[in-house]
């Protein structure tokens, strides 16, 4: 059984989607018209600083991922489940026909703008904690009472991201090292994603989503919040809102799909982040990565079931 998985923010790089222009020029053009700038040029030529701005990054990754997805589906490969890491859940929703690509570009642009303005620069931050038990890290976060910090991404065994006030993240990082974390890596982000500091913008985002019509999904979407599958339009919409201020339970999402019989994961979009995480969650499953047309040719040669 095959699952399609889609990457989130952090997977972007200058040059992504370069070989897609011939087959997906229409998508880049449509997205560019919605956004008001040349998206293909930004993806392929940069500059990196502009591509890294969250309101640009989100529709850019979505467009490249969807362009690749369209080619994968056209090749005759289809999934039993779909899932995405944070932003990637929007590509999963487009894959399921929950909303159109055009609407997804507008929604991810708005999501990026709202996230950027959620907290003033420097107030919030995130850090990846490597090699520490989830329960210990949760206790550390709860022990810090003068600043807010909490678990944000439960990515794979030994890799958990914390998020919150910058001072809270610093304190938790120090305590994590004292408790035996192998390494703590501050993330190069200015936004404390997937924690309660995003609650206010989530409410604004929820109002914005009411402008769009949501359909039931053609494929079960395993959402980040509950790590369970749903095809229901309203449930998908609610999960996208909650995701802004709730932890991304990626490890649980992958385990859920494996428990339902998935043995092959195809990561569709820029980078290979999710393939690496999945291998650490369960080394016995097959993982493939499609971030170019050449990758798709290789995957098509495989005996996928």
Residues that are catalytic: 86, 194
The pairing of strands 2-6 and 264-268 is parallel
d(C-alpha 222, C-alpha 225), whole Å: 9
CA 115-116-122 angle, 5° bins? 115
Is residue 183 a contact partner of residue 130, using CB atoms and an 8 Å limit?
yes
b/e 213-233 (16+ beta carbons within 10 angstroms → b):
ebeebebbbbbbbbbebbeeb
Closest CA to 86 of 159, 5, 27, 188: 5
Residue 178 CB contacts under 8 Å (≥ 6 apart), including other chains: none
CA 165-13-79 angle, 5° bins? 90
d(C-alpha 56, C-alpha 119), whole Å: 18
d(C-alpha 163, C-alpha 152), whole Å: 6
Chain Cα centroid distance, residue 109: 14
d(C-alpha 96, C-alpha 25), whole Å: 22
d(C-alpha 38, C-alpha 50), whole Å: 12
d(C-alpha 265, C-alpha 171), whole Å: 37
d(C-alpha 273, C-alpha 296), whole Å: 17
């Amino acid at each position: 059984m095959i699952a399609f998985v889609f990457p989130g923010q952090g997977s972007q790089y200058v040059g992504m989607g370069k070989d897609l222009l011939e087959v997906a020029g229409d998508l880049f053009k449509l997205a560019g018209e919605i956004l008001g700038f040349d998206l293909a040029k930004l993806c392929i030529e940069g500059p990196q600083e502009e591509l890294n701005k969250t309101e640009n990054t989100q529709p850019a990754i979505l467009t490249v991922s969807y362009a690749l997805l369209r080619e994968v589906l056209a090749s005759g490969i289809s999934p039993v489940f779909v899932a995405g890491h944070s932003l990637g859940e929007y590509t999963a929703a487009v894959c399921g026909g929950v909303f159109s690509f055009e609407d997804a570009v507008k929604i991810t642009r708005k999501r990026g703008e709202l996230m950027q303005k959620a907290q003033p620069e420097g107030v919030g931050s995130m850090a990846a904690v490597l090699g520490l038990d989830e329960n210990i890290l949760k206790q550390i976060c709860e022990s810090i009472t003068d600043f807010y910090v909490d678990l944000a991404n439960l990515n794979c065994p030994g890799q958990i991201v914390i998020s919150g006030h910058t001072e809270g993240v610093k304190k938790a990082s120090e305590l994590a090292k004292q408790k035996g974390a192998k390494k703590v890596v501050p993330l190069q982000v200015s936004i404390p994603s997937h924690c309660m500091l995003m609650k206010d913008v989530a409410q604004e985002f929820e109002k914005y989503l009411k402008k769009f019509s949501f359909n039931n999904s053609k494929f079960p979407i395993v959402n980040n919040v509950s790590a369970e599958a749903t095809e229901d339009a309203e449930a998908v919409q609610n999960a996208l809102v909650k995701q802004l201020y709730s932890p991304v339970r990626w490890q649980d999402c992958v385990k859920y799909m494996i428990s339902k019989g998935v043995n092959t994961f195809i990561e569709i979009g820029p980078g290979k982040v999710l393939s690496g995480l999945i291998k650490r969650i369960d080394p016995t499953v097959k993982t493939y990565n499609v971030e170019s047309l050449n990758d798709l040719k290789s995957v098509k040669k495989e005996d996928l079931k």
